[in-house]
A and B are shown apart, each in its own frame.
Chain A
Amino acid sequence: MSFDLNFIGILIGAIMASSVPLILAASGELITERSGVLNLGVEGMMIIGAISGFALMVVTDNLFFAVVGSMLSGLIISLIFGLLTQSLLTNHVATGLALTIFGIGMSAMIGKNFVGIPGKEFPLLFVNLKESIPFLGPVFFGHSIILYFAFGLPFLTNYFLKKTKTGLIIRAVGDSPTSASNQGINVTLVRYSCILYGGAMCGLAGAYLSLIYTPQWIENMTGGRGWIALALVVFATWSPIKVLIGALIFGGITILQLHMQAVGLRIPVQLLSALPYIMTIIVLVVISRDSRKIKLNTPTSLGQIFYKEK
């Protein structure tokens, strides 16, 4: 039986790995949304992070630069969104969509010369422990440092939002920008910072895909994960811990779907591939049905333009 148990351990490890980009992107977007900004550009920022991480890895041959660079490029591209929505007061939904379209196009343009180049091996931690302990080994060990960071992030985010002064300020800005502004808080500055942070996390999520998860560059390789991350934030009713749970559920569906295909069940591959999307819709319906529950944590000013008369 120990062999089977170990297999389940490996399966859980794979589920964890596939949920990492979702956790990173959704945690970043959660902070952005908590400050009252709805950035639909997650997919675009992720894909930019994916290509810049991969390109930097190829050019500098240094994984540290690649990871930091992917976060920086996510941050830079989210600055466009910040500039438009915060300084030029544009509509959040339309600007976010433009960011996604632009990001996908831009990444393909940059990535043209990086198609077909093999990736580099990303160092994994505690590999010896992974092999020596059955079941628990493959669950807890032998992962990249980004995975450990991703699994800590929701708890950090939760602590940050609930227990720190900065977290309180962010929530105040999201719930009532006018009163926050009257208290002397610079609403625009807070929102800019949250947008940039979200951008950096989405960039990192993209780099995880192109450097670790499937170490190569493929056009459009995020494949809708950015949108699922956005749905996760709603699914989690803006609570960081639930983001973690949701991401694991979606990671689980993705991995199980792959295994069901491999086993050769007589279910069309496409139906299995559609499962994560269909599940997202069903979950959204279940969550949103109770409008009181969803209103409890929804940032009141989400997606609204804030303008202070000078």
Chain B
Amino acid sequence: MIKIEKRNDVSRSIYFLTPILAIFLTLIGGGIIFYILGFNPIEALKFFFITPISDLYGLSELLVKATPLCLIAIGLSFCFKSNNWNIGAEGQLIFGGIVGGGVALLFYNHDGFYVLPIIILSGAIGGMLFAMIPAILKTYFNTNEILVSLMLVYVAKLLLDYLVVGPWSNPEGFNFPETRQFSESARMPILFDGLRIHAGIFITLITVFLSWLILYKTYLGFQIKVSGLSLKTAKYAGFKGKTMIIIVFMISGACAGLAGVGEITGPIGQLHRNISPDYGFTAIIVAFLGRLNPVGIIFASLIVALTYLGAETAQIFLQVPKYTGQVFQGMILFFLLGSDYLLFFKIKFLGLKKNEL
């Protein structure tokens, strides 16, 4: 017999262990899918999760991908902790990229240490402003932020498309849908010769530290957490709900914008149609997998970044589409959410009693 009981208190160790369980279950699930597709599951999983990071270049690529994911997820954790469902980080990333890229093109003929900081800052502001649209509509018009932030993703994508095809396209680019390559002073410094890992990783790490500081050491962080636990309590305590909603959206938009500008000044070096392989959506999974905790999010971003690399390797060696990464990402979130059941309920395995036989 199995008996299910509600737990009175949530165990902290299980709270951080269930993500590991979820990853383990995802590997099993992925193995089964590969088996159904006719691959040797162990081999396929090896191509997916070990081959990509078995050399220095692979490790650097892992960090290149984890850098934006971690940054966006950190921003999202502010929203999610306070029950604000910003799922349009992809749009905020793209808009940040557009603004930052525009400034980079503006400074095309400038040379100087000040160029890159201005670009980065403008990217962050761009993302922040774009995120304020759903926030303001939510606070003043009661509009559903999930739908608005999501619709804006499509708007941002189309705007980027318009710019790189039209007014911003490279004058010497034979009508390719892309801008000029940014000048050297507008690029993120590369950390090691021959690898793509760039200084953006420091922006991410600093942001992680700052957000830890805000979340755990300031009054604002306290407000965010209380509003997440109970809106009624927050109101009763006299927190200004509207201001807080706008602030958390601004923070997460700025982070997404930073991620966007980090991509275009880092690995990409120009604007084109696909500046992000859905980092903004995947970061939602990173935020949950990391339990909305700054340190947790660092680890989660590395794991989810690996699914990107794995999908690329698997595409080459197994000829499966690159979207396979999304199957794994979806599964991680499914299993993570599902295993949360263990947090709130105890499952007791009792021996069969005689009279039940």
Contact = CB atoms under 8 A, between A and B. Distances in A.
Nearest to B167: A268
Interface stretch (A58-66, A94-102, A158-166): A94-102
A289 B142 contact: yes
A93 interface: yes
Interface stretch (B207-215, B252-260, B337-345): B337-345
B320 A109 contact: yes
Contacts of A271: 158, 162
B108 interface: no
Nearest to B165: A270
A284 B147 contact: yes
B51 interface: no
Interface string A282-310: 00110011010010000000000000011
B271 interface: no
A288 B161 contact: no
Contact of A288 (B142, B159, B334): B142
Contact of B151 (A102, A109, A277): A277
B3 to A, nearest CB: 10
Given A278-B155, A281-B151, A291 B142 contact: yes
Nearest to B329: A101
B281 A101 contact: yes
Interface stretch (A10-18, A82-90, A122-130): A82-90
A284 B330 contact: no
B159 A274 contact: yes
A280 B146 CA distance: 12
Given A227-B150, A227-B151, A285 B337 contact: no
Contact of B333 (A98, A103, A109): A98
A174 B37 CA distance: 40
Contact of B144 (A99, A100, A284): A284
A195 to B, nearest CB: 15
With a 10 A CB-CB cut-off, give which of A83, A84, A102, A105 has the most chain B CB atoms.
Answer: A105
B351 to A, nearest CB: 20
Contacts of A99: 330
Nearest to B278: A101
Interface string B117-153: 0000000000000000000010001111011101110
Contact of A102 (B137, B165, B327, B344): B327
A112 B33 CA distance: 15
A186 interface: no
Contacts of A278: 151, 155
A214 interface: no
The contact size tier of chain B is: 35 or more
Contact of A97 (B6, B158, B284): B284
Nearest to B163: A270
Q: How extensive is the interface on chain A, given as a class?
A: 35 or more
Contacts of B328: 105
Given A84-B337, A274-B155, A284-B143, A89 B330 contact: no
Given A93-B146, A102-B334, A288-B142, A109 B321 contact: yes
B284 A274 contact: no
B222 interface: no
Interface string B301-344: 00000000000000000001101111111110110011011001
Given A101-B326, A219-B321, A280-B147, A90 B141 contact: no
Contacts of B37: 109
Given A102-B330, A105-B327, A274-B155, A94 B147 contact: no
Nearest to B133: A281
Given A268-B166, A273-B158, A105 B144 contact: no
A285 B137 contact: yes
B16 interface: no
B24 interface: no
A280 B326 contact: no
B337 A95 contact: yes
A92 to B, nearest CB: 10
A102 B326 contact: yes
A34 to B, nearest CB: 17
A37 to B, nearest CB: 15
A81 to B, nearest CB: 9
Nearest to A230: B147
A104 B143 CA distance: 27
A88 B341 contact: yes
A72 interface: no
B15 interface: no
A231 B151 contact: yes
Contacts of B298: none
A133 interface: no
A231 B159 contact: no
B154 interface: yes
B323 A219 contact: yes
Contact of A105 (B146, B148, B325): B325
B108 to A, nearest CB: 23
B85 interface: yes
Nearest to B85: A93
B95 interface: no
B155 A277 contact: yes
B147 A231 contact: yes
B305 to A, nearest CB: 15
Contacts of B334: 80, 84, 95, 98, 102
What 3 A-B pairs come out closest when comparing CB atoms? A102-B330, A105-B326, A108-B323
27 contacts: A84-B338, A88-B337, A88-B341, A90-B337, A90-B338, A91-B337, A93-B85, A94-B288, A95-B337, A99-B330, A101-B282, A101-B329, A101-B333, A102-B333, A104-B323, A105-B323, A108-B326, A109-B327, A112-B320, A219-B323, A269-B162, A270-B162, A271-B162, A274-B154, A274-B158, A277-B151, A294-B142
Given A84-B337, A90-B340, A273-B158, 20 more contacts: A89-B344, A90-B337, A93-B146, A94-B288, A95-B333, A101-B281, A101-B333, A102-B329, A102-B331, A108-B324, A109-B323, A234-B144, A268-B162, A277-B154, A281-B147, A284-B143, A284-B144, A285-B137, A285-B143, A288-B141
